[in-house]
Structure 1
Amino acid sequence: MRGASRVAAAPRLYDRASELAAVAELSARAAEGKGAVLLLTGGPGTGRTALLDQAVRHSRIRAHRVAAPGGNRVPWSGVRALVSALAPTPSAARRALRAARGPGGVPGALAALCPGTPLLLCLDDHHLWDAHSRTALDAAWRANTGPWAWVVSFAAYHRPPDVPGARLLSLGRLSREGARNLLDDVCRVPLSASFRTRLLDEAAGHPGVLTVTAARACADPEDADGSSGPVTDDASLAEVYRGLLDSLPAECGRVLALVAVAGEPHPGTGRSDRGAGGPDTLRPVGADAVLAAARAVRASPEALDRLVADGLLRGTREALRFDDPFLRRAVLGTVPPSRRRELYALFSPPEAAKGRGAAARTAHAAGPGAGTSPAPRRSPVASAESASAGLPGASAESAPADVPGTPAAAGPARDAGHRSVRFRAPAGVGAPAGEARAAEDVRGLPGVVRGRAELARGLAALGDGPVGDAHQVLLLAASLLREGAPEEASDARFHAMEAAWAAGDPEACAIALGGAGFGGERPGSLSGVDAVERDFRDGMCAALAVRLAEARAPLARVVARDGASDEPRRLLRAGAAALVLGDAPAAVRVHARALATMRGTTGAALLPRVLEHLAYAELRAGQHERAAAHAREGLRTAECTGQRNAAAHQHAVLALAASVRGDAAAVMEHAGRALGTARAHGLVQATTLAEWAVARAELAGGLAAQAAARLAPLVGRGPRGGHFALRMLVVPCFVEAACAAGREAEAGRAAEEFAVWAALGLDPQAPGQLARCRALLAGGGDSADWYREAMRQHEESGSDFERARTLLAYGKWLRRRRRLVEARGPLSDALVTFERAAAGVWADQARAELRATGGPVGRRAAPGAVGELTPQQQRIAGLVAAGATNHEIADRLSLSPRTVDHHLRNVFARLGVRSRVELSGLLSRGSGDGRRLDR
């Protein structure tokens, strides 16, 4: 791993004039102070590294090539290599690395190391860089600041970095003239004309094949000229393709070996197609035969799915073939002839039963890396869309901990005993990646294979794409998997429901769950599923159709059964059911269990989804700071795994938490980031949460009219309305803003609809919020009664923040009616609660109102103020000072713990203290040890 301003020596390049011109143009833009990114892809041996070396060598500006860090992908190792190449000293490199990990990111580090200096930065093998470095670089490229030209190479069959506006170049084969010139350059001794002609024909312009074969021929020219076989032998091709073969999972290597060997018309000869062409001479290989043989060599059917989705294999159900004929021969070059015959026997019906035992014993030798070759290591891009992202059967050991660029939404994972699906969106050799090609490649394959490929596409869109597209693709996957793989079809339906939920389409949610919308059930759509899943479907469909009496019993059974599971898929399902039932504490408990289960594995891509659900449940439970902490962790993981949709939801949660604290700057920052992705990808849920957070910050800052205008669409119905599951949660905030802005008629209509919803019992905070809305709308003497009713309801629901908002509104109402002494109690209590919650802006409002009443603001109560407490409050305060807990005090005074907590909050507000320690100190100063109050 090194970076140098010049490369000491580099081979000549042929037929790469357009690519070098593109790099030169990029460098010229950097010299003018304009940054840009060029993406460079190619198959094994096409010369990506050589082109980067040449670009660095002939650059007119300062240039560096930084290779992918070797060994394990240590977090930030790539950025460390980059800044080390630029820094004059190790200490400067360490400072730059700290800057790159800070708010300024990679651009800040580069600006500190090379202020104003144009740079050509060539990053080799981007697909092998660690997740943290890739995420930081992606952010730098999107920002496009600084005079830096980036040339980023990555291997074919890997998804390119998502850089808007970046140019993508694919390194193809050489022309005949270019191939001749390359041979002249690499051959140390002259080769015979016949050998050169045969080599040029067989290599078909492949630079790596030409170079390796010519080097071997030059080492022994007499043997090469006298050979009657192909000049491009399988061992040479295995050397060229070694990096790709070693990066594949072992079972994918075994399946490749099966397909390669099965195509041999004469397995005893060891090879059939001699050159780059010749696929017509191969025996047709059917997908069903490969799947049957795969079981004998301990390879799962999902390995074939991945190879087809990646583009390494193509064709129809009846005839699979290698996309690159050289790759087939390279695979054969890693399998000894004796092993080939054993594998070939698996495709011969009379000998299949005899051959399977031997093939199973030699399963590990069947794939690339068999024999004397190193054992295949796990792919550095081993499909986070499956193992990490929690596709059916994802096991802990199958998922790298820091998979970068993962597009898939982290869905629920099945137990380790179920089969694992492993495939990514395809990327062809010399062509841009695209999901359309995957659909073409699997069109003729069995329904299960096609269904799994569509499931991968749908999950990719669910994690980082329009959720409407994800919904349709996942429904297609469910229909394809329904007969052959009913459990995977169930997972596809669950993900399709998640996509429709994020899009705010309740009828599409019902359809995805297996019903025919709100009109009825689709017959036979849930055959082969368990009772709990049927309960989930029935309960969710009833809830979506607002038939809550029918929904409660089945959803409660889901929470009871799945909530005790150790499987993340079932726990997430139970948590979703708890949220629909309005049981926020149960939802927090279940999602926390899911998080603990996930943290016991090495998977990373499922964490953003688990943390997103947990943070939202904590918001519903009023635990705003905990929700913010989990959302921050989920945001980091979502960014590392490339899940922009999950990141948008986390930003929305952080915006809501910041609106409670009154941090307007944080609200605007997180809401803006959430809306940037949510509006483009149709995330109505994230959009509603972000807009709600902004409006709440505006209301806290005194901008009631602006907040009411922002919230009005969210509480309405229709295409401009908010998310169907969030509309009613937004109403109390809208009523408060609308009443302050003089829009009482709209507030009244919204409150009447909210009253109907509150009566359903889906939110324990709703009765208190409804009473507050009634108080705001009453305007006369009835308001006091409604405020008292609201506080009584808040005491039962236990929401401190909502109770403090009601106390603030009540205190304002009393002060405006010149009832100053009465107003001081509610305002003092509200002030203490807001200060506890670090809700700065809300506390400022309460403090200003309290100051207007002439009450004490910001002063500690004198010890003599204890005498102003009621006898009950004095007894409770004395027991607290003596070290008793609320439960102990409740037992001693025959009260409920909730009543003790209510009295204690009033004591804090009256005495101006914020903690039990301060209360104990105050009482000790007034009475020695404070124990006289507890008698």
Structure 2
Amino acid sequence: MTAAGAGLVGRDDEKARLGALLGHARNGSGGALLVLGDPGIGKTALLDDAAAAAVTAGSQVVRLDGYESESTLPFAAVHRLVSSLREHLGHLPPRQRQAIEVATGQGEGPPPDRFLVGLGLLGLLGRAGDASPVVGVVDDAHWLDTDSVDALAFVGRRLAQERVALVVAARHETVAERMGGIERLPLDGLDTRASLHLLGRALDTQVDPSAAAAVARATGGNPLALIDLAADLTGPQLGELAVGDGNVPVGSHLQRHYAQRLAQHDAVVRTWVLLAAADTSGNLQLITAAAKELGLGADGVDRVEIPGLVTLSPVVRFRHSLARAACYDAASGVDRRRAHRALAAAADHLGDVELEAWHASRAAAGPDPAVAARLAHAAELAARRGASASRARILARAADLTPPGPERDARRISAAEAALTVGAVHVARRLVESVPAETADPVTRGRGTVVRYQLTLFLADGENLRGTVATLVAAADDFHGREPDLERRTLMQAFEAAVTVARSMTGTTLGALGRRLDAAADAGGRDATVLRGLAAVVLLPYADAVAPARAAFDALCDRPDGELMHLGTAVAALGAFLWEDTTRARALDRAYAAARDAGALRVIDTLAWVASAAELLGGSVDRAVGFTEKVLAVRRAMGYDSENVVNAPVMAWQGAPRALVGAVTDGAAATGFGGVEDLGAWALGVRDLADGAYQDAFDRLAPLVDDPFLQLTPLQYPDYVEAAARSGHLDAARRVTALLQERAAANGAPWCRGVTERCLALLAPDDAAGAHFEAAIEALSRTVAATDLARTHLLHGEWLRRTRRRRDAADELRLAVRLLQGCGAGIFVPRGQAELAATGAGAAGAAGPVGAEAPIAPLTPQERTVARLAAAGSTNAEIAAQLFLSPSTVDYHLRKVFQRLGISSRRQLAEHLEPREP
């Protein structure tokens, strides 16, 4: 805190941290800092000092203050920030520019995801920083609208190689939670020495040192309290503090102090100040219009400036938020509501629908259907701008002002849905629990059930997750005959939930789900074909299910990309059932690209998990790892702890310790994610195969095969057959191979035929095995199942060596090792090299590193992903959009990649890497 004519006192360490942040930004290494502290602790003074230092150093400062009246106005703070950077809007990619314009009400288009708005802000700041370093200073962030907080948090987490520093000050922990991932600077009270120094500057008279020390101690070193409160303490009060050991309740004392200053003025001034305190935006035009509504003359504004309390410059500013609160709280409830009514009327005259609704809601003393309707309209305006957080808050207030009944319940559920969209799970839970299921109408009850399911999934609530299929079917029953579209969508969610929980499902059966899907398909509608196909997967013998499943798969793949991105689980499941590897991969890539372009990070997160599993089961390990890296990037962008992102099957394929993979798998089982549990067990079985522990592999895979689950288990048949054939369980191997033959005959898919031929080769006599291996390789060469192809070459090479065709075996094994390395299946390479050594042709040097793994081993996951995208031909701007980075950060990563690989061009990069990135 500063006193008149003095510099900042007692904040040397804090100034050093801010100075380092600003210095790094000037040198092209951007970053962010979140300053947290109690009211009056000196946050604003510290930001003012940093801003002054930035200007002195030649940086441009962009200032943004939070106002309570804007806290429910969607993207209000982003709008003000963009206004100061508007000259750079034209340089943004079209989707980002459109997102910014729609969010700020300056353009038309689909509602943007708040993270896409954040990416646009990152681009604007980065572009501005190209001209000269930019320092963004955000004060009172606890009053910013939540959508803007999320966008700024995104920017703060992604600043890297930009000449941009972002300093945010707030006092509420809720802001800190939403800004997870940003470095924090807690601001505590001044120490005794600094407190005495500041107190000495602030007081006009001499104070006994012991009394001064007591004031410093009692106020906890709060600078605002030291300056404002101590000056008003009487001699006896100082004496009491000198011998006491209690703390002064700073907030209440300061508010009383400011209220006493205000009470010294007449009613006209007090009303003007109340209007300013009630509005909080400082909009003098609005406050003047509201005063006119109350019959106040223009002379009031000339007397409203109270030294040390309120100033006009040219907006209305209070000395501190506590001063504003004191002036507001000093008025009666009647007067406060009267002020808000006047402000609502003024906002209406100015054409500000959202502000009018907000003030009208504060003027209401109880339920008011008309005001609630206006708030609901404002919420829909927020939805059009992609401001789900603001929509949730406005709808919640609208519900509070709605008389008890179906309309209030529906608004609370709508608010819960919006809150869940932005990850406000606790708000969503409170809202949905406020609607009693036993009295709600069926549609509202069903919507509430779907929200509860999503909360369960989000929170990994194992006890409830296992019962989600039954829960969603019950919700579909509520929608039946009332909302057919909701019924169909909910049943598709129920199928996805069944895939998620797998064998841990409780409360219903797969058969019951299948019959419910089939019944919904009978009712017709756009989703009837998809529902019929999903029902067939559950209910029908495989050969009979292929045709309806294929029709459903084709119908999904024909959906527009914007719809497809929400259907990833169904696409993956039907593609796996049909063994349609190529079409499935293309559809998931389309879905991922659509979600990426929309900035829908939560959808991207789900799609990346789904695609990772799909690639492990029928693609390449390398692509599976790439999708897992995308999950890490997305989680970091959303502010989650990416260190907690663990993918058990990918870990097993990458050679992680079995105990660690087992622990992760057990954790998934405990939380109800049965699908992850099954994949983890399968991947450990594959790991046993890679190590030549065939009996262990058989023992691990047998429980999965003996209790098959939908489309997943048949994809594991080839591994089971290899384990069974190599461990002497030939009857089991023949039985499952026959099942694969039936599927291959029914679906006609090259992938299925290829692995079936491989299984036949493992069981065939030597005079027939070769033909089966050749048929397997021919079929798999027409797929994207790169790992299966590489493993087939390995098995073929092993067979060739055992039949004493050593030269052919050596050639085949060299190819197998190269392919295994190229697709990321490194756990099988030692087995291949050992076989190659047994041919007498040598091992390690024979194959050499091919593909991405060996040459880029020193790179970080993000560098690896950037390198692959660049090798695939993507520009820096395209890579930045895919990974939610700025082009400057992409350029930085590429320069590091070039340096580490000893290359100087993208052409050379392409020679080092095989571009497999979607």
Higher relative contact order (CA 8 A, sep 6+): 2
Report which of the two has the higher share of helix: 2
- TM-score scaled by structure 1? 0.49
Using the size of structure 2 for normalisation, the TM-score is 0.50
